[in-house]
Structure 1
Amino acid sequence: MEQEDTGRSALTRRDYVTYGAAATGLLAGCAGTAGESNAGEWTGETYEATLAPVGTVEFEAPPESVMVYNLLYADMAVAYGHGDAVNSLGFSTEVAGALDAFYERLDGIAFDHTGLAQLNSESGGLTVDRELFYELDSDLHLVDPALVCSFDGWDVDDVETIRNNVGPWFGNNYSRNNTQPPEPYRDAYEYYTLWEIASQVATVFQARDRYDALKSIHADLVDTIQSNLPPEAERPTVGSVLYMGETFYPAELNTAGFAKAHTRPLGANDAFAGDDVSYESSYDFETLLDIDPDILLHRYGYSYYDVDGIREEIADHSVGGQLSAIENGRFYAGGNPLQGPLMNLFQLEMTAKQLYPERFGEWPGYDGGAYPEIPPDERLFDRDRVANIVGGA
Structure 2
Amino acid sequence: MPRKSSDGRRTRRDYLAGTGALLGGGLLAGCSGTGDGTTSTTTEASTTGGTTTTEDAGHTVSMAPVGEVTFESVPESWLAFTGDYADMGVALGQADGLEAIGIPARYAAYYYEELPGVSVDTDDLTPLYQDGTGKEVFYSVDADVHVIDPNFMVNRLQWSQGDVAEVRENVAPFFGNTVFTQVYDWHDYRYYSLYEAFEKMAELFDERERYEAFSAYHDEVVADVKDRLPEETPDVALLYPAGIPPESFYPYLVGEGTQSEQWRNLEVGDALAQNDVTDAQAGGATLDYEALLDIDPDAIAVRIQGEITDAYFQENVVAHMEQHEVASELTAVQEGRVFYGGHTYQGPIIHLFHLEQAAQGLYPDVFGGEQLFDRQRVADIVTGEFDA
Is 1:172 the counterpart of 2:177? The answer is: yes
Is 1:325 the counterpart of 2:329? The answer is: no
Identify the match of residue 64 of structure 1 among 44, 64, 76. 76
For 2:48, what is the secondary structure of its paired residue? coil
In structure 2, the residue matched to 1:117 is 126
Distance 2:52 2:60 in 1: 12
In structure 1, the residue matched to 2:206 is 206
Is 1:392 the counterpart of 2:377? The answer is: no
Q: 1:41 to 1:180 in 2, by over 3 A?
A: closer
In structure 2, the residue matched to 1:51 is 63
TM-score for both structures, normalised by structure 2? 0.82
Q: 1:152 to 1:355 in 2, by over 3 A?
A: closer
Paired residues for 1:43-192 under 5 Å: 46-91=58-103, 93-96=104-107, 98-100=108-110, 102-122=111-131, 127-151=132-156, 153-173=158-178, 175-180=179-184, 182=186, 186=188, 189-192=189-192
Q: 1:40 to 1:273 in 2, by over 3 A?
A: closer
Is 1:266 the counterpart of 2:266? The answer is: yes
Distance 1:179 1:204 in 2: 26
Q: 1:177 to 1:22 in 2, by over 3 A?
A: closer
Q: Is the 1:24–1:57 Cα contact (8 Å) retained in structure 2?
A: no
In structure 1, the residue matched to 2:220 is 220
Q: 1:278 to 1:181 in 2, by over 3 A?
A: closer
Distance 1:130 1:51 in 2: 23
Q: Output one character per residue of 1:103-141: Cα deviation in whole Å (capped at 9) or x when no partner.
A: 12111110122332111123xxxx311122211111111
Q: Is the 2:79–2:86 Cα contact (8 Å) retained in structure 1?
A: no
Is 1:307 the counterpart of 2:319? The answer is: no
1:348 offset after TM fit, Å? 1.3
For 2:241, what is the secondary structure of its paired residue? strand
In structure 2, the residue matched to 1:370 is none
In the alignment, structure 1 segments of 5+ residues that lack a partner are 4-9, 365-377
Distance 1:250 1:345 in 2: 23
In the alignment, structure 2 segments of 5+ residues that lack a partner are 23-27, 40-46
Q: 1:163 to 1:193 in 2, by over 3 A?
A: same
The code of the aligned residue for 1:237 comes to D
1:47 offset after TM fit, Å? 2.7
1:302 offset after TM fit, Å? 4.7
Q: Is the 2:12–2:73 Cα contact (8 Å) retained in structure 1?
A: yes
Paired residues for 1:229-378 under 5 Å: 229-231=229-231, 234-245=232-243, 246-253=247-254, 255-275=255-275, 277-279=277-279, 280-300=284-304, 302-303=306-307, 306-308=312-314, 309-359=316-366, 361-362=367-368, 364=369, 378=370
Q: 1:208 to 1:319 in 2, by over 3 A?
A: same
Q: Output one character per residue of 1:82-114: Cα deviation in whole Å (capped at 9) or x when no partner.
A: 1121111112x3334x211x2121111101223
Q: Is the 1:24–1:30 Cα contact (8 Å) retained in structure 2?
A: no
Q: Is the 1:41–1:208 Cα contact (8 Å) retained in structure 2?
A: no
Distance 1:302 1:44 in 2: 43
The code of the aligned residue for 1:357 comes to P
The code of the aligned residue for 2:220 comes to D
State the number of aligned residues: 354
Paired residues for 1:23-62 under 5 Å: 26-27=28-29, 30-33=34-37, 38-39=48-49, 46-62=58-74
Q: Is the 1:41–1:207 Cα contact (8 Å) retained in structure 2?
A: no
| Larger relative contact order (CA 8 Å, sep ≥ 6) | 1
Is 1:380 the counterpart of 2:372? The answer is: yes
Q: Is the 2:13–2:72 Cα contact (8 Å) retained in structure 1?
A: no
Instruction: State the Cα RMSD in Å.
Output: 2.8
Distance 1:346 1:176 in 2: 17
Distance 1:353 1:191 in 2: 30
Distance 2:157 2:48 in 1: 39
Q: Is the 1:72–1:338 Cα contact (8 Å) retained in structure 2?
A: yes
1:142 offset after TM fit, Å? 0.9
Distance 1:384 1:350 in 2: 18
Paired residues for 1:6-21 under 5 Å: 11-15=10-14, 17=15, 19-21=16-18
For 1:12, what is the secondary structure of its paired residue? coil
Q: Output one character per residue of 1:38-82: Cα deviation in whole Å (capped at 9) or x when no partner.
A: 259998863321111111111333322212211111111211111
In structure 2, the residue matched to 1:368 is none
Q: Which moves more between the two structures, 255-264 or 192-201?
A: 255-264
Q: 1:153 to 1:270 in 2, by over 3 A?
A: closer
Distance 1:251 1:267 in 2: 16
For 1:13, what is the secondary structure of its paired residue? coil
For 1:164, what is the secondary structure of its paired residue? helix
1:338 offset after TM fit, Å? 0.9
For 2:13, what is the secondary structure of its paired residue? helix
Q: Is the 2:20–2:29 Cα contact (8 Å) retained in structure 1?
A: no
Q: Which moves more between the two structures, 301-310 or 162-171?
A: 301-310
The code of the aligned residue for 2:79 comes to M
1:331 offset after TM fit, Å? 1.1
